[in-house]
Every structure is written in structure tokens, then in C-alpha cells.
């Protein structure tokens, strides 16, 4: 084997080793839930949603982390809890070790959230606009900058994630497609809060989960 080939092979092995080390040093800190709670917009409030994220993460082998659902709430006469204040400060990686965002600014201005990277807790792709069924609507209850809605007569959070009937939930498109709105966290409202209503707008009651530690 000549010197050039030896150097080339060594370089390839080095890069492979570096990539593996990066993946190993970048534990999952972001995922879309592979299943919803199953009761439409009734997630058991923020506490129930957080517990759902934790349960799925631990079942996938992620332990010792503090998991939070990316969800906002509404309050009478004041701004509710903002999704961006619940999830820590980053960085966040998906189940395959790919960087989603280094901090809150990047997450809300230019995140690496597209169909290929917005994976579930097991590293599987979540169905998007061109799949059957379309499941790209992800519950958020958030404005595009991650803040909660101002006091409003309109429901954006399925009664703070306790309704599986009346109301609506603001959703984002994890695949960044559909209806001319590419927002991952604030694309449009759902048709009601029942499971059937969420499905009819292109969702399944899935959540974004972030490690907040």
C-alpha cells in the first residue's frame, strides 16, 4: 500500500471516529413523541405532557434528564407560560446526534428542524405533509418566537391542555411544509381539541420534547 492510500485511509478512519465520538458525546435532547397521549388536546395539563415526554424518553434509553414538553399556556388578564421558558438553554440534539439548535435564539430564528431531523425518541422519521396520513401538526400553543399568547378570547391551548372537545390548539409543522407557512412551532390552529379534530387538520396529537437540564 502506497503512502497516499495509507494517508487517505487514515483520514477516513479519523473522521469516522470523530463523528462517532461527537454522536456519543451528544445525547438526545430533542424529539417528537412517537405517540400522542390519545385524548386529543387533553394532555393532563403541562404536568401530564411533561410526564409523557419523560416516559417515552426513558423507554428509548434516555435516563437522568429533565424532559419538558414545548407547550405554552394562556391566562386571564396576563400572558401565560411561554414554551421557550420551559425547555432550558440548549444545545439540543436529536436521537441520531444531529444538532437541532445551540441555544434559544437559534431555535426560534433558524433551527435545524426539517423532516429529516425532526425525529421521534427512537430516531424514526415522523410522517409529514406528503405522507399518508399526514401527521405534521405538532401541538405547541405558542407564537413563533416561543412566547405565550396575550390575553385573548380565542383558545390556542385547548384550555391549557385539558380539553378534548371544544377549543383549539396552535400547532407547528415539523416538516416545514403546508399552507404557505413553514413555521415549526406556530403554523395555524387546529379544528377543535378532540383526537378526530387534530387528525382532520393533519396531526395526531404529537408533542415536541426538550431536555431542560
Task: Name the pTM for this structure.
Answer: 0.88
Q: What is the pLDDT of residue 11?
A: 44
Q: What is the pLDDT of residue 47?
A: 98
Helix H, strand E, coil C: the string for 172-202 is EECCCCCCCCCCCCCCEECCCCCHHHHHHCC
- How long a stretch of residues is the chain? 213
Q: What is the pLDDT of residue 19?
A: 41
Q: What is the pLDDT of residue 24?
A: 52
In order of their start, the domains of the chain are 28-211 (3.10.100.10)
Mean pLDDT by 10 residues, the chain (213 residues): 43 41 74 97 98 98 97 95 98 98 98 98 97 97 96 92 97 92 95 97 97 96
Burial letters 63-74, b for 16+ CB under 10 A, else e: eebebbbbbbbb
Amino acid at each position: 500500500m502506497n503512502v497516499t492510500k495509507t494517508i487517505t485511509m487514515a483520514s477516513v478512519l479519523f473522521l469516522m471516529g470523530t463523528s462517532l465520538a461527537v454522536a456519543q458525546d451528544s445525547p438526545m435532547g430533542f424529539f417528537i413523541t412517537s405517540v400522542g397521549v390519545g385524548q386529543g388536546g387533553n394532555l393532563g395539563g403541562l404536568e401530564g405532557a411533561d410526564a409523557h415526554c419523560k416516559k417515552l424518553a426513558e423507554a428509548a434509553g434516555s435516563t437522568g434528564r429533565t424532559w419538558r414538553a414545548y407547550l405554552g399556556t394562556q391566562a386571564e388578564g396576563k400572558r401565560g407560560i411561554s414554551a421557550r421558558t420551559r425547555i432550558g438553554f440548549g444545545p439540543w440534539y436529536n436521537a441520531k446526534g444531529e444538532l437541532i439548535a445551540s441555544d434559544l435564539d437559534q431555535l426560534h430564528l433558524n433551527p435545524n428542524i426539517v423532516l429529516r431531523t425532526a425525529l421521534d425518541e427512537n430516531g424514526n422519521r415522523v410522517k409529514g405533509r406528503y405522507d399518508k396520513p399526514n401527521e405534521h401538526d405538532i401541538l405547541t400553543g405558542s407564537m413563533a418566537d416561543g412566547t405565550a399568547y396575550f390575553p385573548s378570547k380565542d383558545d390556542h391551548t385547548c384550555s391549557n391542555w385539558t380539553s378534548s372537545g371544544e377549543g383549539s390548539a396552535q400547532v407547528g409543522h415539523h416538516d416545514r411544509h403546508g399552507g404557505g407557512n413553514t413555521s415549526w412551532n406556530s403554523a395555524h390552529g387546529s379544528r377543535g381539541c378532540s383526537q378526530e379534530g387534530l387528525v382532520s387538520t393533519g396531526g395526531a396529537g404529537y408533542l415536541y420534547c426538550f431536555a431542560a437540564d
